């Protein structure tokens, strides 16, 4: 849980940084490619092949294609149609996808986990629903694809590590995740990238460096490690914790307007969803099972 809380705080800055310094100024495909290459620099030198089953390696590549490649390409494109608050709003469906995909993989249905996810969505909606722009449909579709890919990647990583327990430390094979991201981001840049929109300022390069090395490299690694330590209901709820955190960053640093009363009410509902899942989900104990590594 500590991993998820810490990375939530870290990622709270990402939405605003993308919206303020990159969106409309730096080519989306170049930004995503830069992030995957920088993150790969952290883990590819540590990559180990021996002792790893082929399905685990292949699964990690697929998870990386989804959770990094598809997610970020769609997320960056959505900023062309939505404001930062609207992007935050449309990510509130991620918990639903987490709960449903986890249940589908286990071939079960967990009403409590789904109810907790719905409560988290309600809390997020209370915080941010104040109308959208005319281009919201395109942005909404892009964000839903991103949400589903991000949810599938999280749940997929969690299931892979449990189905194929190995003695190799996780950081020794996490590089396969960024191989998957590269398999999506490189062709996308070659096909759709605009070389006339490369970074021009030191701030833009600094933001890309932060997003690649810290938010993506360390962030995704620790987030996925944290996802392995909690049940699906808690993971679903924590996906929406970035919404109030992101709004606070907008409010405190970029002086964006926010309704503090709605922020407090929505945050309370989301906190209650965590308690509800821990109290009533019959699968919550899964998160307490020690990992075999």
What's the chain look like in SS3? CHHHHHHHHHHHHHHHHHHHHHCCCCCHHHHHHHHHHHHHHHHHHHCCCCCCCHHHHHHHHHHHHHHHHHHHHHHHHHCCCCCHHHHHHHHHHHHHHHHHHHHHHHCCCCHHHHHHHHHHHHHHHHHHCCCCCCCHHHHHHHHHHHHHHHHHHHHHHHHHHHHCCCCCCHHHCCHHHHHHHHHHHHHHHHHHCCHHHCCCCHHHHHHHHHHHHHHHHHHHHHHHHHHCCCCHHHHHHHCCCHHHHHHHHHHHCCCCCCCHHHHHHHHHHHHHHHHHHHHHCCCHHHHHCCCCC
Is 292 within the bounds of a domain? Answer: no
Which pLDDT score, from 0 to 100, does residue 13 have? 77
Is 287 within the bounds of a domain? Answer: no
Q: Which residues contact 224 (CB under 8 A, 6 or more apart)?
A: 67, 154, 157, 158, 174, 177
Which pLDDT score, from 0 to 100, does residue 57 have? 93
Which pLDDT score, from 0 to 100, does residue 171 have? 87
Which pLDDT score, from 0 to 100, does residue 184 have? 94
Domain encompassing residue 52? 2-278
From the first residue on, what is the mean pLDDT of each consecutive set of 10 residues in the chain (293 residues)? 74 78 88 92 88 91 92 88 76 79 78 77 72 72 90 88 86 91 94 90 93 88 80 70 71 65 77 74 43 32
Which pLDDT score, from 0 to 100, does residue 278 have? 67
Which pLDDT score, from 0 to 100, does residue 65 have? 95
Is 284 within the bounds of a domain? Answer: no
| This model's pTM is above 0.75 | yes
Q: How many domains does the chain have?
A: 1
Is 37 within the bounds of a domain? Answer: yes
Is 283 within the bounds of a domain? Answer: no
């Amino acid at each position: 849980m500590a991993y998820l809380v810490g990375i939530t705080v870290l990622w709270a800055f990402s939405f605003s940084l993308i919206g303020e310094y990159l969106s409309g100024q730096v080519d989306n495909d170049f930004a995503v490619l830069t992030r995957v290459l920088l993150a790969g620099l952290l883990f590819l030198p540590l990559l180990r092949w021996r002792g790893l089953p082929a399905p685990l390696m292949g699964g990690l590549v697929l998870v990386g294609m989804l959770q990094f490649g598809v997610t970020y390409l769609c997320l960056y494109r959505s900023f062309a149609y939505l404001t930062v608050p609207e992007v935050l709003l449309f990510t509130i469906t991620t918990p639903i996808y987490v709960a449903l995909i986890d249940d589908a993989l286990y071939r079960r249905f967990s009403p409590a986990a789904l109810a907790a996810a719905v409560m988290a969505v309600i809390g997020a909606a209370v915080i941010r629903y104040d109308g959208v722009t005319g281009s919201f449909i395109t942005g909404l579709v892009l964000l839903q694809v991103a949400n589903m890919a991000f949810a599938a990647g999280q749940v997929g990583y969690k299931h892979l590590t449990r189905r194929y327990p190995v003695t190799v430390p996780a950081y020794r094979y996490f590089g396969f995740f960024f191989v998957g991201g590269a398999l999506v981001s490189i062709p996308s840049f070659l096909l759709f990238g605009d070389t006339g929109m490369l970074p021009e300022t030191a701030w833009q390069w600094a933001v890309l460096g932060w997003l690649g090395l810290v938010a993506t490299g360390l962030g995704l690694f620790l987030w996925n490690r944290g996802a392995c330590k909690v049940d699906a209901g808690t993971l679903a709820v924590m996906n929406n914790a970035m919404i109030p955190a992101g709004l606070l960053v907008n409010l405190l640093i970029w002086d964006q307007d926010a309704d503090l009363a709605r922020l407090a009410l929505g945050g309370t509902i989301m906190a209650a969803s965590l308690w509800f899942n821990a109290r009533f989900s019959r699968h919550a104990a899964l998160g307490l099972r020690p990992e075999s590594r």
